[in-house]
Structures are given as C-alpha cells and as structure tokens.
Amino acid sequence: MFNCKSVSEKVSLAMDQTLPFRERLMITMHMWMCKYCRRFKDQMLTMRKALRLEESYEEKAGLSLSLPSRIREQIKKDLTDALNTPIRS
C-alpha cells in the first residue's frame, strides 16, 4: 500500500502521463481510506483547470492583462513545487 507522500507524487505524475494499472489501483485503494489525499487530488485538478481557464480567456479576449511571462513561469513553478509537497495535519 502506498503512503500519502508517494500517492501525492503519483497523483501529480498521473496528470501528465498514464500510470501502470497496478499503481492506479493502489492509488485508488489509498484514496478510499485517506481524505487528505482525495483533497490533494481535487486541489490539483482545480488548480490545473483554473490555469487553463485563465490562458483560454486571454487567448479569446486577445488581451494580455497578466504578469510578464518570466513572472508567470516562476509562479507556476512555485505552485507546482508546493503542490508536490504533501500537507499533513
């Protein structure tokens, strides 16, 4: 059985690539029991959706109301790093 740290890493990986069936099964089993990892996955999905919506809005509006790309990339990197660090209470 995976622990919370390994599940958070695998959840993050699973958003960018397909994991083997066994790993997906172990993650699912862990999430049945762990509300913290379920919450982490939901937060990751929400964050990805929000970033996509922002990019989509800017493209459709033809506007660039955002920060310079250098700063945006640093924020994305910081968020990704923070999301890859499991939070336990």
Residue 55 has a pLDDT of 66
Give the range of the structural domain holding residue 57, as residue numbers without chain letter: 4-83
What's the domain count of the chain? 1
Residue 88 has a pLDDT of 59
Is 12 buried (19+), middle (13-18) or exposed (0-12) by CB count in 10 A?
A: middle
Let me know if residue 88 belongs to a domain.
no
Let me know if residue 9 belongs to a domain.
yes
Let me know if residue 46 belongs to a domain.
yes
Those residues of the chain that have pLDDT short of 50 are 89
- Per-residue model confidence as pLDDT tens digits over 64-85: 556 677 887 888 888 887 777 6
Residue 63 has a pLDDT of 57
Is 27 buried (19+), middle (13-18) or exposed (0-12) by CB count in 10 A?
A: buried
Residue 31 has a pLDDT of 92
